[in-house]
Amino acid sequence: MIEILTEYINYLILLAIAVGGGIVSSIIVKKFSLQGKIAQNPTGENYENLRKKYLFESTTINENEESKILLEKISNKKTKQLIISLFVCLITILLFIFISTTLKNSKEIENQSFLFDKNTPFEKIQDEYKILILPFSYKKNYDFELESRLKDRFDELIKDKKLNLAVKFINNKQKVIAFEDAEKIGKKFNADIVIFGDFDIDAKKVKLCYVVVNKIVNEMNDKNKTEFVRLDGVSDISQGYLQEDVDGIIYWTLGMQALKKKEYQKALEHFDNISYEQNFVGEAMYNAMMICYIKTMDRNEIMYFEKYFLYFDLAYFCGQYLFDNELVIELYINELNYFNQSAATLNNLAVTYKNNGDYQSAETYFKSAIKQDKNALYFSNLAYLYTNDFFKNYSLSEKLYLEAIRLDSLNPEYYNNLGDLYCLDSLKKYDKAKKYYLKAIKVNSEHLQSYFNIAYLEINYNNNFDSAKYYLDKAQRIDKENSDVYYNYGDLYQYHTKNFGKAKDYYEKAIKFDGTNAAAYKELGDIYFYNYKIYKKEAEENYRIALSISPNNSSFYNALGLLLLDKKNYNESLTCFQSALSQKNISNKSKSIYLANCGDVYKNQKKYLEAEKYYLQALEYNEDRFYTNFQLYYLYDKIGEYEKAMKYYKNACKINPKYKHNLYIVSLWLKQLFSGK
């Protein structure tokens, strides 16, 4: 209100200046009129004064001529003064227009500095929690003061409490009243949360709404709104009025981010800012805080509070949200040591050991679980373990899956898992695989994974696109909002029809229904990188999003590493490949690929000795890979070791005969001959 009054006062001052200029001009014009009258009647006492002023000492002319000359000179003077008067008036008017326009523009510029280019979203990858504010009112003279105060408050939190936030406001020119509309805008701008609402300026009432675009845990309340409440002044917003839930979400998210980075004390500080009323995540809050306490207390303190710790629940929470297998193992062992040796705890500990690459410990705990409880799930888990490269005991795996089916014949998962076993490259029993996938569907006609697996078989091994699409269409009819349905459509079009535009649309639809579908982001990155070469930035963004969702996925590190290698960012590329190798529970085939990619980093820098080391290590895990043998041929040819080059060239041609070229062989033979070897 004060700003509006100030603006009106400024306009009144300018108007007074303009009026004053007009009055001065009118006085001058009136004076001209008076002088004209004197000139037309050159008699009386003023005449002699005028005569002296205009004729000076001219006495040689008669009275009539003198009168004419006097009139002419007065008229000339009148014209000049009239022009000056009009000029002053015009300048005053122009000055009024200029200053008023400047004030208006300065107000607009002030607003524009608060706004930003509405086509500019947040960066997809950034550590900050991204808050997007939308307008609360769309009245003509609305000045966005409420939104400005809201943004200022978040900026103060960033400065005073060192909160890792990024805040933007946009005037989207269209009133948002539905959560769905706000969420759509939030996704467009890569926001984590969108704040919007309604502001009745006349009644001084406001309603604040929010929608969380990226949820940290499933239990989170992702949307809410306040009632219309009276606002004594916009300064209330600066004090956090109506923002309690939003604050809770911010502190919860930042706390979880710190927890994932193992910054336990910092996580606790964030969680402590959340009141009991703001605890919208239920047990997740308790579990997160208990983990912080366990990691920050000494052993004596932990023993005192031991009875309050539900290690089983804490371990499950860590496995689901923190991706910290070492901590999960520690918590399950605490559960076994201080509480009970339940079969469920033994099974979960075994699964974690498997995920962490400790296959022998996993086998031990699976067997212990089965000894306590002959549960079909435990047999199925042990069967899956034996398919790993560490064991490769496929016959025992088959027996265990059949035992799981015998114990629980109405569970489609066990039929589906046995089908997966028959699909392995070491068995390639595709007809048997399809048979068990169909059995899974017979047991449960809505078991989507079995539809996906049959579609994969049909396109990859039978080259039957129509049949593959038929099964995916059936899956879509079962659940039209299932993210994995559209992910599998994307794979079908990307890899088998090369219709990358259609594949891209399906991957984006998969992400629409599940923003945590990391595999869909990765495949989008592949499309941008391999098929739309000018979109490398978009490819990198999608790879990094995939990794932020699933930080233990080796294939995502490898994908990003290949992109960075293409950009000649050798250091970060090598780091990505080494991160891929450091992940647990990866196959020998994958290890061979990642090691060869490390070799490529050095080869591209002409560091051939370092490259040789990685290529030879890659062959230890998969000696039948064409690419690695061919790269060793190339490397040895470059450094002049032609005998070794010939060896690996022949190996490569044996693996893939279509690459055999006699000119290469003759060239290597001649090089050996002339080098004296």
What is the tens place of the pLDDT at every residue in 598-628?
999 999 999 999 999 999 999 999 999 999 9
The residue that leads in pLDDT, 601 or 83, is 601
Q: Are 87 and 21 contacting, i.e. CB atoms less than 8 angstroms apart?
A: no
For 124-127, the CB contacts below 8 A with 24+ separation are 124/190, 124/541, 124/542, 124/544, 124/545, 125/541, 125/544, 125/545, 125/548, 126/166, 127/164, 127/257
What is the C-alpha to C-alpha distance for residues 330 and 322, in angstroms, rounded to an integer? 14
Confidence band, pLDDT 50/70/90 cuts, at residue 174: low
Q: Which tens digit of pLDDT belongs to each residue from 543-594?
A: 998 998 888 899 999 999 999 999 999 999 999 999 999 998 899 999 999 9
β-pair partners for 193: 131, 212
Beta pairing class for 193-200 and 129-133? parallel
Q: How high is the pLDDT of residue 161?
A: 86
Q: How high is the pLDDT of residue 3?
A: 42
Residues 209-218 as b or e (16 or more Cβ within 10 Å = b): bbbbbbbbbe
pLDDT, averaged across the chain? 81
Measure Cα distances from 107 to 100, 137, 198, 391 in Å: 11, 18, 23, 73
Q: Are 412 and 450 contacting, i.e. CB atoms less than 8 angstroms apart?
A: yes
φ, ψ of residue 263 to 5 degrees: the values are -95, 75
Q: How high is the pLDDT of residue 82?
A: 62
Q: What is the chain's Cα-based Rg?
A: 40
> Which value, to the nearest 10 degrees, does the dihedral of the CA atoms of residues 406, 412, 418, 423 take?
160
Q: Which tens digit of pLDDT belongs to each residue from 527-547?
A: 999 987 678 889 999 999 899
pTM of the model as a whole: 0.72
Q: How high is the pLDDT of residue 240?
A: 77
Beta pairing class for 229-230 and 205-212? antiparallel
Q: How high is the pLDDT of residue 27?
A: 56
What is the C-alpha to C-alpha distance for residues 551 and 403, in angstroms, rounded to an integer? 35
Q: Are 229 and 207 contacting, i.e. CB atoms less than 8 angstroms apart?
A: yes
3-class DSSP assignment, residue 382: helix
- For the cut 80, the answer to whether the pLDDT of residue 143 exceeds it is no
Measure Cα distances from 668 to 67, 612, 628, 654, 676 in Å: 120, 19, 18, 17, 13
Residues 277-293 as b or e (16 or more Cβ within 10 Å = b): ebebbeebbbbbbbbbe
Residues 296-311 as b or e (16 or more Cβ within 10 Å = b): eeeeeeeeeeeeebbb
Q: Which tens digit of pLDDT belongs to each residue from 359-401?
A: 999 999 999 999 999 999 999 999 999 999 999 999 999 999 9
Q: Say if residue 530 is exposed, middle or buried (CB neighbours under 10 Å; 0-12, 13-18, 19+).
A: middle
- Residue 594: CB partners within 8 Å, gap ≥ 6? 554, 558, 577, 580, 581
Q: Say if residue 74 is exposed, middle or buried (CB neighbours under 10 Å; 0-12, 13-18, 19+).
A: buried
3-class DSSP assignment, residue 206: strand
